[in-house]
Amino acid sequence: MVSQTAGGCGVSQVQLEGVDELSSRVFRSFLNTLRLHRRVMVRTLGGQGAHPGQAFCLRLLSANDGITQRDIADELHLSRPTVSKMLQAMEKAGAVERRPDENDQRLTRVYVTDVGRRLEKKLRAVSAGYIMETIGTLPEQDRRELGRLLDDLSAGISRALAARDAEAGAAATVRHPAS
């Protein structure tokens, strides 16, 4: 159940019942940070002719040239149709090429082209500049503490995700018991 806090009706003012005010405030700050980060990355990388997802994909491919399309989806935590669409755009731009696996025609392997390598290098430099412009401006001790806190938050999110995956697996087993 959601109730409004005093001061407005925006999403940043929504108080979730059963959640203490401090946790709610931290959550709102986290969401605001995510939104702002996404806006800056979309604008910055868009100016380079890329989308943030493509930058992550190119970085992954540069380190794992010839990785399967399925493994890209798994590594980037994206659906296979989303990855397929992204790769189509990157292929059209000449950044990647897809080829069937030599041993298993059901698999598609993805390779970075010279154009893609140049773009990845450029995007890596743009990302480094962004990091130094934002996170890099925080004092060292604050960066260390923020890193620790984000690692702790990531671990909590991973545990929540694992619990949901386990629940989904148990529910699937109940619906479709082994024969």
Contact (Cβ atoms closer than 8 angstroms) between residue 96 and residue 67: no
pLDDT for residue 177: 64
- Name the burial class of residue 51, with classes exposed (0-12), middle (13-18) and buried (19+) by CB atoms within 10 angstroms of its CB: middle
Mean pLDDT by 10 residues, the chain (179 residues): 43 74 92 92 81 89 94 92 94 94 91 94 90 95 97 94 85 66
Across-strand partners of 96? 112
Computed on alpha carbons and rounded to an integer, the radius of gyration of the chain in Å comes to: 21
pLDDT for residue 16: 79
Q: How many Å apart are CA 39 and CA 146, to the nearest integer?
A: 21
pLDDT for residue 42: 86
